[in-house]
Amino acid sequence: MRIVTVFNSRPLHGTQEYHPSHVVALQEQVAKWAPGAQFECLTDVPISGVPTLPLRHRFPGWWAKMELLSPEVPGDFLFMDLDTVLTGPLDDILAQRELTLLRDFYRDGKKYKEGLGGGLMYLPEESRAPVWKYWMTNPAYNMRLYSRGDQFLFERFWLQSAKRWQDVVPGQVVSWKVHCVGDIVPPNARLVAFHGKPRPWGVGKFRELYK
């Protein structure tokens, strides 16, 4: 299994929240909980000790994630956002071989219409190609059209076809905000997604992962 993350040194707005050390921290967690997995970072800067792939299109901020769809990133792989904490063996997650995204932790089909989240995605090469083709017709326009988040672009193509991690590995993929009440991670969780603030390096129980 290839596990890929993205670090872009050019923030979309304001100051940079992320640092190469966060890439190293995720690599160390992958080495612990998914030994044998191939870890790579798609980035515009060298990161010591981390195998990297080049960002080629200079999309700002989190839009750099769109290069995950490029044919210049070959093959199938599992993507993780940098603000992800691993808390247990990833065997079941790594066994997935079909297009799989998060079900949005708030737009879960109960109170609100179901949506997707892009913080954890298994991306087969064949599924990425049509989205990349669409995106590259006019990236600047698409950044404006989907300014609320890349997940809304993914929904355009994958809402009906993608599996959901919450169904594939029930209880193993959780949200810090939604599921970790009182800062307690559910016992069956293997991956904690931090979507927005706080980031895991700002949470006491996880700070040691980022030293």
Whether 115 and 104 have beta carbons less than 8 Å apart is answered as yes
Q: In the structure, what pLDDT confidence band is assigned to residue 12 with cuts at 50, 70 and 90?
A: confident
What pLDDT sits at residue 147?
93
What pLDDT sits at residue 39?
98
Please determine, for residue 79, whether its predicted confidence score (pLDDT) is greater than 90: yes
What pLDDT sits at residue 110?
82
What pLDDT sits at residue 109?
77
pLDDT per residue as tens digits for the range 131-151: 999 999 999 999 999 999 999
Q: In the structure, what pLDDT confidence band is assigned to residue 129 with cuts at 50, 70 and 90?
A: very high
Domain 2-210: give its CATH code: 3.90.550.10
What pLDDT sits at residue 182?
85
Predicted model pTM? 0.94
Q: In the structure, what pLDDT confidence band is assigned to residue 208 with cuts at 50, 70 and 90?
A: very high
Q: In the structure, what pLDDT confidence band is assigned to residue 55 with cuts at 50, 70 and 90?
A: very high
